[in-house]
């Protein structure tokens, strides 16, 4: 039997190479390629023939057996992101920057599920059990019936989980685990893929819900091969700025619920506290109306969230003016500036432009286009918008304003927080929101003329 050929795998993108090189041709990363020892060619033909003879029972879609109920914790924000609770036999991958609070969140989640009646096991590959207990005491979780373990050998972990048969198993983190069937270092592409495959298989076979913690690269993506994200049922990202106390738990993949759902937490001395009304919290630091400040009514998953966009436009002393963005897409900002100059006659040449989403929130929907444009115009013309106004709408390259989805939910959230005016694209389905005056604009040029008298 011929020996399988050795491959070299990039740890950043998972691209395969026939020989080692210092730079990956797929993603351009340096010193990310390592040797992967291939798996064996498998059993002999005789044993394979016996396996082919087995009959696999198939279920019926019309069966009257009810699906297993979701396990809910006492953390409503976590249950919201999971789609209503934790599904049995599911595999969840949680990623985030170092020190953002992943271990704290999952220790609190394990305690919450244990108090709700689930049998929870927390296995750490990065800390000793005494260190986990010390953090649990600080968080006030010392009385929770959570079993702790400190191990990195996958064989020992699976043997323990088979004996314990827990309802929930948390492994922190997948990059520290190693399998003795793979001849490579922990954290390598081969080890991460093999360990993730074994743990997902265990979850499906035993009915245990498995939560894996994944490290992230400097670009913010979960480290290791991308196939790990395809293996699991749910992928969550824990986001936040170190300078802010807010933390966002975002669902980017969920087979059992809506994706792009978010849960908002606040980092306190006693751990992560839930934020039931994130809009009020994101707007709590607003001062008096100032040029460049605009309130955007956005949608995160199924939840309306209001946040403040801050813009600053100042003369530049450089040949190439700065374009600095925090919490939004920089390419989208360049497009808005080009539309303002081409369609409205408002140039930003020779001006530094800074855009910030207050509170550490990251916005990805195009409905923020109009709010960004009004914030830039407000900063450039030094005209403050009314403090009681919210803005949302998508801008096309022709300068026209396009309606966005869930307009009524945005307006209801704004009215609930005391806003009395709204600026939206023409044709938006505003519904019957009481106490809210909605001004509908057909294009960006009309907004410029009516709101600022420029252009």
CA nearest to 303, candidates 266, 277, 329: 277
pLDDT score, position 12:
73
CA nearest to 236, candidates 223, 221, 225, 251: 251
Q: Which pair of tokens denotes residue 18?
A: 């026939």
More confident residue, 26 or 380: 380
Q: How far is CA 90 from the centre of its chain?
A: 18
Tell me the per-residue pLDDT of 274-285, one tens digit each, with 9 for 90 and over: 988 888 777 876
pLDDT bin (cut points 50, 70, 90) of residue 98 is: confident
pLDDT score, position 455:
46
pLDDT score, position 303:
86
pLDDT score, position 239:
86
pLDDT score, position 45:
41
Determine the straight-line distance between the first and last CA of the chain, rounded to whole angstroms. 76
Tell me the per-residue pLDDT of 346-386, one tens digit each, with 9 for 90 and over: 999 999 999 999 888 889 899 999 999 999 999 999 999 99
Tell me the per-residue pLDDT of 103-142, one tens digit each, with 9 for 90 and over: 999 999 999 999 988 999 999 999 999 999 999 999 999 8
pLDDT score, position 61:
63
User: Using a CB cutoff of 8 Å and minimum separation of 24, what contacts does 333-337 make?
Assistant: 333/372, 335/397, 336/369, 336/372, 336/373, 336/376, 336/395, 337/376
96 marked among binding-site residues = yes
H-type alpha helices, 19-88: 45-52, 76-81
99 marked among binding-site residues = yes
102 marked among binding-site residues = yes
**pTM value?**
0.77
19 pLDDT higher than 90: no
80 pLDDT higher than 60: yes
Contact 125, 150 (CB under 8 A): yes
Burial 48-84 (b: 16+ CB within 10 A, else e): eeeeeeeeeeeeeeeeeeeeeebbbbebebbbbbbbe
Q: Which pair of tokens denotes residue 167?
A: 């309802």
Contact 304, 390 (CB under 8 A): no
Question: Which residues are 156's β-sheet partners?
Answer: none
248 pLDDT higher than 70: yes
pLDDT bin (cut points 50, 70, 90) of residue 302 is: confident
Triad 419, 424, 425: Cα angle to 5°:
175
Residue pointed to by tokens 């191990």: 151
What domains are defined for the chain?
A: 7-35 (no CATH), 71-276 (3.40.50.300), 281-452 (3.30.230.10)
442 pLDDT higher than 50: yes
299 marked among binding-site residues = no
173 pLDDT higher than 50: yes
22 marked among binding-site residues = no
123 marked among binding-site residues = no
| Coil, strand or helix at 2 | coil
């Amino acid at each position: 039997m011929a020996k399988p050929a050795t491959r070299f795998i990039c740890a950043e993108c998972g691209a395969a190479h026939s020989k080692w090189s210092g730079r990956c041709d797929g993603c351009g990363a340096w010193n990310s390629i390592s040797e992967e020892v291939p798996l064996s060619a498998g059993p002999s033909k005789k044993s394979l023939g016996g396996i082919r003879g087995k009959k696999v029972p198939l279920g019926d879609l019309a069966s009257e057996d009810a699906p297993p109920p979701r396990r809910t914790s006492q953390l409503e924000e976590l249950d919201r992101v999971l789609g209503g609770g934790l599904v049995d036999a599911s595999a969840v991958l949680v990623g985030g920057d170092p020190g953002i609070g992943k271990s704290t969140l999952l220790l609190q989640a394990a305690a919450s599920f244990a108090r709700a009646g689930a049998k929870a096991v927390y296995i750490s590959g990065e800390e000793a059990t005494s260190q986990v207990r010390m953090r649990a005491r600080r968080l006030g979780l010392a009385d929770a019936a959570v079993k702790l373990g400190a191990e990195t050998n996958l064989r020992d972990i699976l043997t323990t989980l088979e004996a314990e048969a827990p309802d929930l198993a948390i492994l922190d983190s997948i990059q520290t685990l190693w399998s003795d069937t793979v001849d490579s270092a922990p954290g390598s592409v081969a080890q991460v893929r093999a360990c993730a495959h074994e743990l997902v298989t265990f979850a499906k076979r035993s009915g245990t819900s498995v939560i894996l913690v994944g490290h992230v690269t400097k670009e913010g993506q979960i480290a290791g091969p991308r196939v790990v994200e395809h293996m699991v049922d749910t992928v969550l990202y824990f986001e936040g700025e170190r300078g802010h106390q807010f933390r966002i738990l975002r669902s980017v993949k969920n087979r059992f619920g809506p994706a792009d759902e978010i849960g908002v937490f606040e980092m306190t001395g006693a751990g992560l506290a839930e934020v039931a009304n994130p809009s009020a919290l994101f707007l709590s630091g607003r001062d008096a109306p100032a040029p460049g400040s605009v309130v955007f009514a956005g949608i995160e998953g199924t939840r309306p969230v209001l946040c403040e966009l801050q813009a600053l436009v100042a003369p530049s002393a450089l040949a190439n003016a700065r374009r600095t963005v925090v919490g939004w897409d920089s390419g989208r900002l360049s497009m808005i500036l080009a539309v303002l100059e081409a369609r409205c006659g408002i140039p930003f040449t020779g001006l530094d432009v800074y855009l910030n989403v207050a509170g550490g929130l990251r916005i990805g929907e195009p409905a923020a286009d109009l709010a960004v444009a009004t914030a830039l115009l407000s900063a450039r013309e030094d005209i403050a918008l009314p403090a009681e106004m919210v803005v949302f709408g998508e801008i096309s390259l022709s300068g026209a304003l396009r309606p966005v989805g869930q307009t009524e939910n945005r307006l209801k959230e704004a009215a609930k927080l005391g806003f009395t005016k709204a600026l939206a694209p023409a044709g938006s389905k505003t519904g019957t929101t009481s106490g809210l005056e909605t001004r509908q604009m057909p294009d960006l040029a009309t907004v410029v003329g009516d709101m600022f008298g420029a252009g």
